[in-house]
Amino acid sequence: MGASERFDEYMEHLAQGLGHSDRHAGLKGYFTGLMLPLSRKSVEPMAARVDPVHASARHQALHHFVAKAEWSDREMLRRVCQWVVPQMDFSRGGWWIIDDTGFPKKGKYSVGVTRQYCGMLGKQDNCQVAVSVSLACDQGSVPVVWQLYVPEDWAADPVRRQRAGVPEELRFATKTQIALAQLRGLLEEGAPRHCVLADAGYGVDTAFRQTLSDMGLLYAVGVTSAVVVWPPGVEPLPPKRYSGKGRPPVMPRRTAAIQPMSVKALALSLPEQAFHTISWREGTNEPLSGRFAALRVRHAGGNAGKARLRPLEWLLIEWPAHEAEPSKYVLSTLPEDIALNELVAAAHQRWRIERDYQDLKQDFGLGHYEGRGWRGFHHHASLSIAAYGFLMTERLIADKPVGGKKNFIERKVPALPEDYIPRGSPARAASREQLHHDAAPSTQLRVDRPPRAVPLLRKGTRKTTLVTQ
């Protein structure tokens, strides 16, 4: 079967979820517009290109299909997954990638618009933000659920809600709450319990990490340098003895000599030999690599370290060569016996979603919708993801291994923009080129702390090795 026949089957597969046969023509017209090489993929230019003789009538028809017709965007994404996922190879594991993306937007009445951080602009500005969960494997990733973040002022404004068609049952939820609800829904539908990846915007939320563990999910999530942990070899004292009155004490005790420390301070206290140069995948021109150290820590619960004792987990530190301090920190509940290169590779799978967003916005018009309503926003996004999903499937089909041929997707995946700054990183994140140096700066130990044995994860090992500072 050729690509043309598969496209027709794909259209039929998606159309079955629209609920009415009259919408089939709208689906094919809108989908075709998204696949065409247009600089702007909003309704009007797509209608003019798809049907130039009847551009006005086609414009009205496509606008009604995307903004007014009562079909389910969630069902659309479910059918996209039914088509794409069987072509993905999970033999080496899978990941759930949580992220959000912003769309600059002016005006007061476009749904969800407020002044907030927009990653596309790299600053605070008027924009819409959507939260998504993507399913990823070594070959690529695809968004499987998608929801607009509705700011608190919007959620409390009945006039704007009604004008934009925000569902009555929708209440204000933070981005982490939206992501957790999305994951919970996927698991209830029988989705596999893959490891969860997220950036520091989600990872710094202790309740978010705890909820993932309560759901039976492993995670590898970014955190900021200010997160406080109990370092290796330092255990807090047990809580005070219960007096028999009130609630039993749960907070571990500290002394002047037994204190938690920030992950940045812990990283700066490590010896140079604690860091190893690790390559995690093939880049566009050469392998991507960096300097990493990993050690077992306990999260201490905020900057004050006042929380009940938590289980040991991995702290992964990335410190680019010739930089004054580490650039990224990751907390992970992946197995204790995992090798350092495997931990690094898992943590870096998260960047697939950045490439997804880049392709969706540049090639499939994800951010080009010009309507104001809730329904149109989600319909347009689901159709953009559907177009992306079809081409991803075609790449996977074309990349079926023949005689050990190297993976096509890995060779062709575009690099991130050079000026991309991941959330939770210092303002001047290291470039990809800087990650390729092997030389490490001389890292001095803290003179105000006694030396101690620090368990570190070593390159290519399956167990913890003691390294003495």
Q: Tens digit of pLDDT per residue, the chain (469 long)?
A: 788 899 999 999 999 999 889 999 999 999 999 999 999 999 999 999 999 999 999 999 999 999 999 999 999 999 999 999 999 999 989 999 999 999 999 888 899 999 998 888 888 999 999 999 999 998 889 999 999 999 999 999 999 999 999 999 999 999 999 999 999 999 999 999 999 999 999 999 999 999 999 999 999 999 999 999 999 988 877 777 777 777 777 777 777 778 899 999 999 999 999 999 999 877 667 788 899 999 999 998 743 445 667 899 999 999 998 899 999 999 999 999 999 999 999 999 998 888 899 999 999 999 999 999 999 999 999 999 999 999 999 999 988 654 444 443 333 334 444 554 545 445 444 333 333 333 333 333 333 444 444 455 555 544 433 333 3
Question: Taken in order 144, 145, 148, 151, is the CA torsion positive or negative?
Answer: negative
Structural tokens at position 18: 């629209």
Cα–Cα distance, 105 to 100 (Å, whole number): 16
Q: What is the DSSP letter of 190?
A: T
Q: What is the DSSP string of 194-258?
A: PEEEE-HHHHT-HHHHHHHHHTT--EEEEE-TT-EEEPTT--PBPPPPP-SSSSPP-SPB--SSS
Helix, strand counts (H, E) of the chain: 15, 14
Which residue type, as a one-letter code, is found at position 146? W
Strand ranges for 82-122 from DSSP E: 95-104, 114-118
Work out the angle between the directed axes of helices 55-67 and 374-398 (0-180°, nearest 10): 100
Cα–Cα distance, 464 to 101 (Å, whole number): 37
Cα of 349 vs its chain's centroid, Å: 9
Which residue type, as a one-letter code, is found at position 20? H
> Which helix or strand (DSSP H or E) is residue 363 part of?
helix 352-363
CB 373 within 8 A of CB 131: no
Q: What is the DSSP letter of 253?
A: B
CB 13 within 8 A of CB 27: no
